[in-house]
């Protein structure tokens, strides 16, 4: 499986704001995630549920910018800026690096978020 192509496809979907679709299409069933706020998910179903809740809380997408991606073997790192107005009146502005480890079938088995600000 060409991991670079998978990264390009997944990042394109994320760039369009279809975060839930990206998880459904590219995560392995046993995928785990962690972020710099100590949030964790175990398994694809938990991540889908988390992303559905998050996406449902967005009132307005002000911008999603994909800056760069690099691939080294089965590891990728993608830099994004996310700018959202939330339904509760709060604002989210994240500049982050998303590191992914991919399996031989071209599915994400681990995703970790790093604050890039």
Q: What pLDDT score does 39 carry?
A: 86
Helix (H) / strand (E) element for 4: namely: helix 3-15
pLDDT over 90 (residue 108): yes
Structure tokens at 96: 């982050």
**Could you name the CATH architecture of 3-115?**
Roll (3.10)
Q: What is the band of 21 on the pLDDT scale with cuts at 50, 70, 90?
A: very high
45: nearest Cα among 35, 33, 57, 58 = 33
DSSP E strands, 2-117: 27-34, 40-42, 58-72, 75-86, 91-102, 108-115
Q: What pLDDT score does 61 carry?
A: 96
Digit-coded pLDDT (tens) for 24-79: 999 999 999 998 877 899 999 999 999 999 999 999 999 999 999 999 999 999 99
Its pTM surpasses 0.85: yes
């Amino acid at each position: 499986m060409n991991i670079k192509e998978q990264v390009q496809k997944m990042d394109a979907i994320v760039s369009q704001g279809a975060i839930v679709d990206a998880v459904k299409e590219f995560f392995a069933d046993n995928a785990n995630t962690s972020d710099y706020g100590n949030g964790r998910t175990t398994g694809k179903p938990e991540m889908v549920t988390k992303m559905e809740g998050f996406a449902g809380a967005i009132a307005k997408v002000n911008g999603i910018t994909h800056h760069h991606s690099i691939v080294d073997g089965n590891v990728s790192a993608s830099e994004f800026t996310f700018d959202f107005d939330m339904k509760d009146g709060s604002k989210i502005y994240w500049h982050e690096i998303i590191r992914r480890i991919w399996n031989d079938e071209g599915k994400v088995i681990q995703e970790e978020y790093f604050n890039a600000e």
